[in-house]
Amino acid sequence: MNRFILISASITILLSIFFIPLFNSNYWLKWRASLVPSTKLAADLIVRNGVIFTSDPSFPFADSMAIRDARILRVGNYSSLQDLSGYGTKELNLEGKIVVPGFIDSHVHLIFAGLQMARVQLQGVNQKDEVVRRVKEAALNAKKGAWILGGGWNNDLWGGELPVASWIDDVTSDNPVWLTRMDGHMGLANSVALKLAGVTNLSEDPNGGTIMKTSGGEPTGLLIDAAMKLIYSRIPEVSIDERRDAMLRASSFALRRGVTAVVDVGRYFPGAPVEDSWQDFSDVYQWADSSGKMKIRVCLFFPMETWSRLYDLIHKAGHALSNWIYFGGVKAFADGSLGSNSALFYEPYFDDPHNSGLQVVEFESLFNMTLASDKNGLQVAIHAIGDRANDLILDMYESVASINGKRDRRFRIEHAQHLAPGTAERFGQQGIVASVQPDHLLDDADSAIRKLGIDRAQKGSYLFQSLLSSNALLALGSDWPVAETYPLHAIRTAMKRIPPGWENAWIPSECLSLNDALIAHTISAAQACFLENEIGSLSTGKLADFVILSADSWDEFAREGSASVEATYVGGIQAYP
């Protein structure tokens, strides 16, 4: 009997030694970790069997990558990632499809683009009657006295004639109307809006702006650049809910196009209130970030007039509010636009011989703001389209850098559309970011020849390859809603440069290769706003933002530049479709 008790007790002790650890959670964690011998934690997702363009020059292509906690663990061939596969790891078989880093649109007005999507849309309209019809339809659905807003019109599409208030006065007698040109530097007001704004034949042009008038001195309804503030000051502020909806609407659209991050220069145009960008930051972006509603990453630029406010914010919160919201810098304007005949050139417009364009901000003021912004460590971005405006800003940047001393400042010029001989080389020499928009050349090719003459247009317009060859940092964008955000289309435009109705490229020597265009829409775009350690390439440690494309092969993609977005992932999670 004693022997039986002794044997039973021994068995009980042995079983306890074996089974008790199984009820300990740490035992199971250790067992799970043992399935991944070379790392403590397994990947959440392994993407395999594809053609992955990394935008990393040290390792440009791979067929697989592993992701955990929204970041890339490792990139390579599938066999090199096997040690990262463990309990709960999911796999995505690409079946040979092409993957590229999530596109970065280097210049958008995100909330304004979302607002425009719900307003009178005049993009692509090529007849006066269709403009009137769309405005009439909006007026029939509007309450009496309510503002009718919209835009996107391009007078070049209907032969070049500029619209006037009388076009729409008869169908909008009960409502003020404001319709911005596609470039955002000119707008059409109806007579009701002009009356509310106090614009009459006695009104004088403000500094940096023009009130267009007939030969008899009567306002036509068109206001250019700084003159637009006369209307903006009368338009009621958009509600918080409308702006939040606009941001979410625009973000969803961007994801459909493979855009996972944008540089948002805000609802800031010549004549617009500088406070709009700050209200959008507090009312929309901080709300979306704190409530988990952000869909794409944003790098925010604020009006340069408010540089000290941004400096205080960065000093308090750092350069990032989260992985979704980054503080970029400050932006200002040097001139207007080509389409509005307000871009600043050395020589007069061919079709307007007494006009060489507008300097939107007085130079001394612009210089002092730039000097102070840079001295306090802020990145500076300035809009410049005409050749004289670009040289003016390059000269100013050179002076500011010499005064404030050497540092990694990455001054930006937004657009850099028309350059004088030798100016492209200066971008590289001075280390200037050229933030350019390829799809603008599709609209500008014919009008540039008409407005500048064929010689000037051919020698100095959209010099992408020249800028790249000068070692300038080239960053591609859209200026949405001026042109829709559509990186794959912009890349093809940069490669082909064939405007609508043309058979051959406009300045073929300025065409980019697929590789250069992809780099400019990914890692170079990230470097252009100091985010290369976070986004822009599919490299270890970066945020796992990527796009799956429809192209059948890399060779076909490189040759034709044709592809569409099949899926967009942000932080390793499918965000579209």
Would residue 51 count as lying in a domain?
Answer: yes
Of the candidates 327, 386, 328, the one whose C-alpha atom is nearest the C-alpha of residue 356 is 386
For the sheet containing 61-62, what is the strand order?
61-62, 51-53, 98-101, 546-549, 565-570, 573-576
- E strands, 96-162, are 98-101, 103-108, 120-121, 148-153
Q: Name the percent of the chain lying above pLDDT 90.
A: 88
Question: What pLDDT is attached to residue 393?
Answer: 98
Q: Give the residue from 202, 233, 264 where a domain finishes.
A: 233
Question: What pLDDT is attached to residue 138?
Answer: 95
What is the CATH classification number for the domain harbouring 215?
Answer: 3.10.310.70
**Do residues 225 and 117 both lie within one domain?**
yes
**Do residues 131 and 174 both lie within one domain?**
yes
Total number of domains constituting the chain: 2
Would residue 149 count as lying in a domain?
Answer: yes
Helix (H, G, I), strand (E, B) or coil at 187: strand
135-144 pLDDT, tens per residue? 999 999 999 9
Pick the more confident residue, 19 or 85. Answer: 85
Q: In the numeric block, which tokens belong to residue 448?
A: 């540039």
**Do residues 79 and 143 both lie within one domain?**
no
Average pLDDT over residues 184-199: 95
**Do residues 30 and 58 both lie within one domain?**
yes
Q: Does 559 have pLDDT greater than 50?
A: yes
Q: Does 19 have pLDDT greater than 50?
A: no
256-287 pLDDT, tens per residue? 999 999 999 999 888 889 999 999 999 999 99
Would residue 191 count as lying in a domain?
Answer: yes
In terms of residue numbers, what domain contains 93?
Answer: 25-102+538-576
**Do residues 206 and 119 both lie within one domain?**
yes
Would residue 69 count as lying in a domain?
Answer: yes
Would residue 186 count as lying in a domain?
Answer: yes
Q: Give the residue from 211, 233, 255 where a domain finishes.
A: 233
Residue 308 CB partners (closer than 8 Å, separation 6+):
372, 376
311-333 pLDDT, tens per residue? 999 999 999 999 999 999 999 99
Question: What pLDDT is attached to residue 300?
Answer: 98
What is the CATH classification number for the domain harbouring 572?
Answer: 2.30.40.10
Question: What pLDDT is attached to residue 25?
Answer: 41
Average pLDDT over residues 177-188: 93
**Do residues 139 and 77 both lie within one domain?**
no
- Global confidence as pTM: 0.90
Would residue 477 count as lying in a domain?
Answer: no
